[in-house]
Structure 1
């Protein structure tokens, strides 16, 4: 791992990915992920912004569905104008359609026309030359290809879909339809010019069975009940927005209505979660206030809706006025205690309604203008709502994610050479881009940064931009030339790798700095802040590093207690600056921000120091006011192994934390006590925590109690069995693992019942492997055959990638009987 990597423990970084790359940042099409760090990819395909032959003006869609065939039947009426040059034909993106007719509408008269279709683009002959003063309207009657039997792994380059039919599966899963348009996939369900530098107004008539609710962009104008027991909902968006942000969704949702400044705010959830909807999305209206004020630009759209759907393959999508989110953020009051960062995804998608929806990147190579700025909004929200430590925790997560990906590839944030747009939805765009924006914010100051963003929004509202237009906004407000900053951070690959040493002699402090990054990364121009503590007082020195090696000297009265490169400058890179036990303890004591305290804790995690230093230091950390540091400290304690002296010295503090107000601290305490040399002596603490309102804490208590308590076995098993009615995946996993390890032969029906009922839910597909693990441990042939039948049924009939792959992985772990080998030979991963 890179030195000084902010490797925050995973249970602190529980957030929901707001982007494609968070689910699989290594997906990169033709990019060579095995390239050595520092190597720039240069030989892929140059991808310019889409040439604008026509401008979209308006799109009207009339839509019906064939649920059995998983097809959409539509009539699209599209109005365009030539952008500048006269045009005699119109080319629309229309992928995998069945085209029934194409008509030109001229003064309300419909005329047939010639057209050609290659399954990707529809080329329409307009009959004569139209100028930019002319309006052209075409009407296309079409049907999408049936999705039955087709691969649905949307993130795989070349396999796209755009519209998803979610099949009803037992009592636990209702039928739904939803769409996903980014990048360039809405043209799989309606014809358009599918480029981010286009935008238009829209109308949508959606006909469904009356039991379903629908959602689309804009406002629901009216509904009409039809004679055939269907209903048509008419949605209209009168403000122009890009085609990739068009959406529709259909399902049996509970709709919970809120309001903000006379603008409708609605939350669509599954009926079982209706009473929890305002808790799930509880800060939405406050966020609308916050972003409108912070950006000095009121929320510009006519409504704001958020809908949770099943089998969504990424965190969320910022469709204009109608956000779709993963079911992972849905939960009851106990679930929500543990989903501490659902605000991250909610704020990110809302902030997109300024950055991405109001002002849009002109091409996918400029994606940072959407994603990085939306993430900046999230961090501003966390700073306002939860304080700078919580903001910096998210920043630290971004640093860790970027540096991890940088070990595999190093490319520029803005890059116009790629094969598939999906390649750009990676940690460089999302995380490095966000971190660089934070550096710019620190460099210019908060006021100048926010005023620049506001000016950018006001100047380019309802249009598409590139990075240089954003740069000009910052330059106009700050009065500074920022080409150097944008060139080295957004247009160059890699990041600085600094080696820093400091010495004190003869009344002078000497700081030596090396830039160690490999080419083609540049030699960076880096303004840094150096904090020097002498006699308990801090002096800050500002330096500029712009060479491969430099020395800086200052006259100081005595040996400093601490010399520290301030991480609040948020340098995106690696810093190797060795510290001592004493300076690290001093850093924690005197540090004024998240990063300094975290780095001090990390020192004691990674360096084997004397036991007394370790115990005294962590006693202080376990009493810190911030929950995150307590959790980090306990992970470090567990990493040191079962050293009884450590646990004895810290026992009082650990026991006290079992009643900490934060659920993740209580969870960490239980796991920490369970790794002591005598974990059974804490049985009473485990038993008390079994009643904790947090599922995560109750699960940690169940694990420690089941595995470490030496109570009477009959009493113990009776207590454990009380958890069999729970439908929390962590608790089910703990029980199933315990039963498998104990080889209890009578728990198959319980686990099979849970699997049958729940495996279709997001995250619950892991039950398939648990079922295999249990049957393998117990060695019950008839149960193994029953499990094999379930896996075979899924592999033959279930098109959802995560479930299919979970079933395949589970099959791989089954005993290699003749039937298992046969199914493996017939099945491809």
Structure 2
């Protein structure tokens, strides 16, 4: 699963979401921390979360005990769209795993259980506590017996308050999107989200990865809907009342959390891979872009199949997009579900395609689905591999520099979390399994796999993965099985590697001193491990580049010593420059005492993306240095667009008068002509920040660039130097007809600055046509528009409109988001009333403050949720 992880591991869902609001809201906004809302799993033998945090972290999380072995799960489900419930029957076939048993305890959350019966229609006694369904059997069942259960029930996923985490916002399992038609332009959808243990909200089961089952899922839906589930659509029959019955069958066993459903008025596009169907389900308005949204999918299937030596293991591969999705994407077997942020037209995809997330979920079809982690403690076997697949695909499709840039992104994400929480990759002690979906399991795990690949070599790496997959096909696995696969293939002991990277937390912090001895013609490179003693010392093999009159590579080993010293001879009197870990295998922190000259030589000679990137970043500390300026100008000519963009972003712009004409001219040339859209965008934005009027013609031409991002930054730059011209261009773009994209947001920002009454309908109507994070971004401009609104009536209408959305979403975090905009406007109006220099202005702002205050009070009085009440009170407290 790919989660939109906020780098706030250990925080509750509400804590994280509230922090995420902060960059979006403008003017007087402050972050609000919410009370923890992570719902712990029911207390059980293994994966349970205790309410007492200290006790929970001391408790060893064993794999869940299997008293029963699931064989088949057959679900027949009718959806009640307006009330967001479902009437269903689930039939289970199962047998005792080893020991004889006389009861069955199933996970079944927030259901109304009507009856439980056996295959002869005999009613069975049961007890139910809203989390667990205990079925009391009339006899003792042994391993050779098969039990058939039929459970009739109503699934009520919205009955209780949802739990969640920083990675998966809610755990309702079954979601009904806009089934009351409250949003006039949002499609009606139904979809499910099973990970980690949420599928038991819509069918009784053993909700844990160690349980696998075949499935038959029958959905009764309006005939206008398309459906999707695991496996094959084996039957589709029209029913009375414009309804239809679709039957999907999954004949190979899958973990219960990987079962899924989706239904809605989707447009479906199809391709094929080796004769198997590859399909894309998107909202109707994006039907023309479906193959572009999921571009390269068949090519990825071929690439991964060839690399792993294991063909894509399922009968089909479908990808579907769900609105209001609670995370990033989910690797349901043969049918991955993606969040709506992946909906893009071709111009957006040219700026930023969906390759990384498509590769991530596809690779899960092997790592996570074909072979599944036995317990959440072993989550790295799922998520680290999916994370690393993004690097593998990037390297294959876009080259080594692009892969290295991706490696740097992973390192930055991991280091962000490591500052406050850096546990072991393989974790048997945790409060909730949800806490494991963090940058350790994802980013750090992916970085570790790259190190492992680099040490083992490509052939050994892929052979070991092939062996691991083949030995554990359709089964569960633990980390030691991965290690043993590498040992079997290579004949080497890999305990040293797994012990330090999988079983302990932290990372190496390496201090490198370069001690030049000119009389002795030697350089001593002293590498010290300075991480805390509690982390321990590492064994770190690495490739090192030595630059003097030529370039040579050596293999250096840091061997669990506090200090290691390496000696390099001068050649022909030339001081050598050393780039330790030039292949960039080691995930950790490097601190070097290189001077500008050494960084320049590293940039010029090392040649690889990361070495150049480190040089640019280090040189940024030497403001005004001639060497720095020279290297940065070299970087603008670099073949790697990421390096070019980085140089633009890192250049010192604080003192505008001191920016040289040569640098400005370089920016102007790149803004107009660079082949890469991200570089053109960066250059335009920098010129806008510098308020350079000389390039106004470039700005106006670039507003029509094929890239939305470039066009948006061109409009930004034009607005910085000539607002009147910018407004003319913004209106000519007809943003009212645009889908959500960077250019729409830029145009709305420019238009908002005039506060014209005639623009109110544009802001109101567009808000209703954009959704989720796009709506929040657009509301930045709406908020700015209301601040500038020339008429009080317009201001009041805008406040009422936003208040309506806040109250419409009163039970959700979005409601508070909308309400905080009202609160921002109130505080801004109050501040303006205080500094007003004439009575008319003072009365205008006092009236506006009063209007916003009343709207905030209306929202607050409508809140029923205690946590949201507390959050709203915190908003007021922090004013």
String of CA shifts for 1:505-546, please: whole Å, max 9, x gaps: 203221112111114211112222322111133242423241
Provide the residue aligned with 2:76 in structure 1: 62
| Contact 1:29/1:423 (8 A) holds in 2 | no
Tell me if 1:234 matches 2:247: yes
Provide the residue aligned with 1:684 in structure 2: 697
Tell me if 1:756 matches 2:775: no
Provide the residue aligned with 2:495 in structure 1: 483
Provide the residue aligned with 1:795 in structure 2: 806
Q: How many angstroms apart in 1 are the aligned matches of 2:160 and 2:131?
A: 20
Match of 2:731 among 721, 725, 738: 721
| Contact 2:68/2:95 (8 A) holds in 1 | yes
Tell me if 1:498 matches 2:488: no
Q: How many angstroms apart in 1 are the aligned matches of 2:466 and 2:430?
A: 31
Provide the residue aligned with 2:22 in structure 1: none
Q: How many angstroms apart in 2 are the aligned matches of 1:783 and 1:31?
A: 33
Provide the residue aligned with 2:619 in structure 1: 604
Alpha-carbon distance change, 59 to 541 in structure 1, aligned in 2, over 3 angstroms: closer
> Which shows bigger deviation, 271-280 or 557-566?
557-566
Q: How many angstroms apart in 2 are the aligned matches of 1:503 and 1:177?
A: 65
Match of 1:118 among 129, 145, 156: 129
Alpha-carbon distance change, 735 to 381 in structure 1, aligned in 2, over 3 angstroms: closer
> Which shows bigger deviation, 321-330 or 502-511?
502-511
User: How far did residue 733 of structure 1 move?
Assistant: 3.1
String of CA shifts for 1:144-186, please: whole Å, max 9, x gaps: 1262795586769996310110003445211000000000000
String of CA shifts for 1:399-441, please: whole Å, max 9, x gaps: 0001011111121111121121110000011011111111111
Q: How many angstroms apart in 2 are the aligned matches of 1:31 and 1:41?
A: 23
Aligned ranges 1:167-206 → 2 under 5 Å = 167=178, 168-206=181-219
Alpha-carbon distance change, 799 to 263 in structure 1, aligned in 2, over 3 angstroms: farther
Q: How many angstroms apart in 2 are the aligned matches of 1:227 and 1:539?
A: 74
String of CA shifts for 1:418-466, please: whole Å, max 9, x gaps: 1211100000110111111111111111111111111000001111111
Q: How many angstroms apart in 1 are the aligned matches of 2:281 and 2:15?
A: 41
> Which shows bigger deviation, 383-392 or 523-532?
523-532
| Contact 1:70/1:148 (8 A) holds in 2 | no
String of CA shifts for 1:585-642, please: whole Å, max 9, x gaps: 11111123221111112122232142x3333222221111111111101101254542
Q: How many angstroms apart in 2 are the aligned matches of 1:261 and 1:156?
A: 35
Alpha-carbon distance change, 79 to 647 in structure 1, aligned in 2, over 3 angstroms: farther
Match of 1:531 among 537, 545, 564: 545
Alpha-carbon distance change, 799 to 73 in structure 1, aligned in 2, over 3 angstroms: farther
User: How far did residue 735 of structure 1 move?
Assistant: 3.3
Q: How many angstroms apart in 2 are the aligned matches of 1:328 and 1:662?
A: 23
Tell me if 1:520 matches 2:503: no
Aligned ranges 1:572-583 → 2 under 5 Å = 572-583=587-598
Provide the residue aligned with 2:104 in structure 1: 90
| Contact 2:424/2:502 (8 A) holds in 1 | yes
Tell me if 1:697 matches 2:680: no
Match of 1:358 among 370, 376, 381: 370
| Contact 2:67/2:97 (8 A) holds in 1 | yes
Tell me if 1:208 matches 2:218: no
Q: How many angstroms apart in 1 are the aligned matches of 2:324 and 2:14?
A: 28
Q: How many angstroms apart in 1 are the aligned matches of 2:306 and 2:856?
A: 62
Q: Secondary structure at the match of 2:73?
A: strand
Q: How many angstroms apart in 1 are the aligned matches of 2:272 and 2:817?
A: 41
Tell me if 1:440 matches 2:487: no
Matched residue pairs, number?
Answer: 797
Match of 1:637 among 651, 655, 676: 651
Q: How many angstroms apart in 1 are the aligned matches of 2:257 and 2:650?
A: 45
Provide the residue aligned with 1:291 in structure 2: 304
Tell me if 1:768 matches 2:779: yes
| Contact 1:814/1:820 (8 A) holds in 2 | no
Provide the residue aligned with 2:609 in structure 1: 594
Provide the residue aligned with 1:9 in structure 2: none
Provide the residue aligned with 2:443 in structure 1: 431
Q: How many angstroms apart in 1 are the aligned matches of 2:85 and 2:423?
A: 40
Q: Secondary structure at the match of 1:46?
A: coil
Match of 1:733 among 745, 749, 768: 745
Q: How many angstroms apart in 2 are the aligned matches of 1:647 and 1:427?
A: 43
Alpha-carbon distance change, 377 to 315 in structure 1, aligned in 2, over 3 angstroms: same
> Which shows bigger deviation, 413-422 or 458-467?
413-422
Match of 2:350 among 325, 329, 337: 337
| Contact 1:329/1:339 (8 A) holds in 2 | no
User: How far did residue 326 of structure 1 move?
Assistant: 1.4
Q: How many angstroms apart in 2 are the aligned matches of 1:313 and 1:386?
A: 30
Match of 1:552 among 566, 574, 595: 566
Provide the residue aligned with 1:449 in structure 2: 461
Q: How many angstroms apart in 2 are the aligned matches of 1:23 and 1:682?
A: 38
Aligned ranges 1:12-411 → 2 under 5 Å = 19-20=2-3, 22-23=5-6, 25-28=8-11, 43-105=57-119, 109-145=120-156, 147=158, 160-167=171-178, 168-340=181-353, 342-411=354-423
Provide the residue aligned with 2:675 in structure 1: 661
Q: How many angstroms apart in 2 are the aligned matches of 1:417 and 1:546?
A: 27
Q: How many angstroms apart in 1 are the aligned matches of 2:189 and 2:381?
A: 32
Alpha carbon RMSD of aligned pairs, Å? 2.5
Provide the residue aligned with 2:834 in structure 1: none
> Which shows bigger deviation, 507-516 or 42-51?
42-51
Alpha-carbon distance change, 115 to 165 in structure 1, aligned in 2, over 3 angstroms: same
Q: How many angstroms apart in 1 are the aligned matches of 2:523 and 2:684?
A: 46
Provide the residue aligned with 1:12 in structure 2: none
Q: Secondary structure at the match of 1:675?
A: helix
Alpha-carbon distance change, 814 to 551 in structure 1, aligned in 2, over 3 angstroms: same
String of CA shifts for 1:477-514, please: whole Å, max 9, x gaps: 11111112111111111111111102232032211121
String of CA shifts for 1:730-779, please: whole Å, max 9, x gaps: 33433343344445454333222222332x34422233343233212336
> Which shows bigger deviation, 368-377 or 819-828?
819-828
Q: Secondary structure at the match of 1:192?
A: coil
Q: How many angstroms apart in 2 are the aligned matches of 1:585 and 1:47?
A: 51
Q: How many angstroms apart in 1 are the aligned matches of 2:439 and 2:183?
A: 37
Provide the residue aligned with 1:13 in structure 2: none
Tell me if 1:568 matches 2:583: yes
Q: How many angstroms apart in 1 are the aligned matches of 2:15 and 2:528?
A: 29
Tell me if 1:542 matches 2:574: no
TM-score calculated relative to the size of structure 1? 0.92
